Amino acid sequence: MGSPKVVGSVKSVKGQIAEVQIESKGLPSLLEVLTCPKDPDVKLEVFYQSEDIASCLILSNPNNLYRGMLLAGSGSQFNILISPSILGRVINLFGEAQDGKQTLSANDPSSIYSKTPPLSTVKGTGEILETGIKAIDFLTPFLKGGRIGFIGGAGVGKTILMTELIHNITTRAGGKQGISVFAGVGERIREGQELYQRMVELKAMDKIVMVLGQMNENAAVRFRVALAAVTIAEYFRDKQKQDVLFFLDNMFRFVQAGNEVATLLSTIPSEQAYQATMQTEVSNLEDRLVSTENGSITSIQAVYVPSDEITDAGVNTIMSFLDSAVVLSRSIAQMGLYPPVDINQSSSSTLSKTLIGEDHFLVLTRFQELLERYSKLSHIVAIVGESELSAEDRILFTRVKKVINYLTQPFFVTETQTGRKGVYVPKGSTIPDITDILSGKLDNIPPEKFLYIGTVKDIK
């Protein structure tokens, strides 16, 4: 790292960028933090330098800076203080409490730019993580230690699905799932507040750390909050030897914050006006979310799709790192089917007999075959009606429709809005139910009876 003897002064401030005139012989290192000896709250991060001018990102309040302010190098990158005492707390990028409780006494400084663990220590679990959400457990099973994305446009339920997942895993695991780390990156302040209150009500907050850098923060802070949260997850994995659930809402806002920073620095944009460094920035974060011999990190990320355009370069970059992609469709949501999972676009790398079991694999394969035929028949039904189908096609169409309806589910986190009591459905019930529907054992029950139930036993 750079020498602490590096000294300079503020030359100019432009928005979130400060130019620093270096007045000592030694130059600061890239990513080194510069502070003011008279005001330790001032934090500038060296982004790049040219001869004796360093361009720095302002991580603290820019209103505290003035031309000529004396600065000194810290000799280190940006660190976040971590200890087991941060469990149950809401903090910001600087490790400061945001929940109105006593000041934190964390004392283990860790650089937010830690490297990916060596390949020799990375270890897969080969274990499926049950979520209690039928559509996910059946269509896109989650691998413990994997990277999962909830992908969709505005208002289709990404945050609700993520909150339901936190609820199901945290409240039903009995402490066996280890620690949860939630990173709020560039999202609404209200969402962070609601999630915190919900976890307190469920008495689940004592196993969760929330790190928030939401839409009111500047781009440099929002960009680094995700890295700080990953560092906390690594601490509990490596030093506490725990299994960690890592939630990031929203991964697209992380990319967007990086784009804002690149624009502020006047760098030349790349594809679709995204920063040229986007692939590197995303991989530097995603590659740290791995399981080692010490413990696992299972990451669940909400991914906003701008203008519902799933071919967006930023979305595609994120999706290339995911093991499971749960795509949420606006058209399905408009039909009143929740969660609005797009069965055709969602995917998972876990769909093999060895991972999900033979029974699950066979019924899922059978459903996917019938779904292709169902999609073609849907166009005919939309024009001439279901009664015009052949007897065989009508049976196929009805059975697939029943499965689609069966995969809807009342959520615990939306009980007050929908009036439906939330249900947790174990995978051991979901697979036999769908097998019975497709085999014709439930042909006497109309499709609408399968909407918003737990298991088939709930049908009266």
> Do 287 and 216 fall within a single domain?
yes
> Do 376 and 437 fall within a single domain?
yes
> Do 116 and 263 fall within a single domain?
yes
Q: CA nearest 80: which of 100, 109, 102, 57?
A: 109
Active site residue 187: yes
> Do 333 and 403 fall within a single domain?
no
- Report residue 237 CA to chain centroid gap: 18
Phi and psi angles of residue 135, each rounded to the nearest 5 degrees, phi first: -60, -35
* Set 11, 123, 172, 188: catalytic member: 188
**What is the reported pLDDT for 245?**
93
> Do 280 and 316 fall within a single domain?
yes
DSSP class per residue in 323-334: SEEEEB-HHHHH
Q: CA nearest 220: which of 112, 350, 103?
A: 112
**What is the reported pLDDT for 323?**
93
Asked if the structure places residue 1 within a domain, the reply is no
> Do 298 and 381 fall within a single domain?
no
- Residues 6+ positions from 152 with CB-CB distance below 8 Å: 158, 303, 304, 305, 308, 327, 328, 329, 330, 340
**What is the reported pLDDT for 375?**
92
Active site residue 158: yes
> Do 164 and 243 fall within a single domain?
yes
Give how many domains the chain has, as a whole number: 3
Last residue of one domain, picked from the residues 30, 48, 77: 77
- Here the CATH number for the domain that contains residue 51 is 2.40.10.170
Last residue of one domain, picked from the residues 77, 103, 120: 77
* Set 43, 134, 158, 222: catalytic member: 158
**What is the reported pLDDT for 222?**
93
DSSP state of 84: G
**What is the reported pLDDT for 373?**
93
Q: What is the pLDDT along the chain (460 residues), one digit of tens a residue?
A: 444 577 899 999 988 899 999 998 888 999 999 999 999 899 999 988 888 899 999 999 889 999 999 999 998 999 998 988 899 999 999 888 888 888 887 677 899 998 888 888 888 778 899 999 999 999 999 999 999 999 999 889 998 999 899 888 877 654 455 789 999 999 888 888 888 998 888 778 888 999 999 888 889 999 999 999 999 999 999 999 999 999 999 999 999 999 998 888 888 888 888 999 999 999 999 999 999 999 999 999 999 999 999 999 999 999 999 999 999 999 999 999 999 999 999 999 888 899 999 999 999 999 999 999 999 999 999 898 888 889 999 999 999 999 999 999 999 989 988 999 999 999 999 999 999 999 999 999 999 999 999 999 998 7
**What is the reported pLDDT for 177?**
57
Asked if the structure places residue 279 within a domain, the reply is yes
Active site residue 134: no
Tell me whether residue 237 is exposed, middle or buried, using C-beta atoms within 10 angstroms of its C-beta: 0 to 12, 13 to 18, 19 or more: buried
> Do 54 and 121 fall within a single domain?
no
- Report residue 244 CA to chain centroid gap: 13
- Residues 6+ positions from 457 with CB-CB distance below 8 Å: none
**What is the reported pLDDT for 175?**
45
> Do 67 and 96 fall within a single domain?
no
Last residue of one domain, picked from the residues 299, 319, 350: 350
Q: Which domain holds residue 423?
A: 357-458
Asked if the structure places residue 164 within a domain, the reply is yes
* Set 130, 164, 187, 260: catalytic member: 187
Asked if the structure places residue 2 within a domain, the reply is no
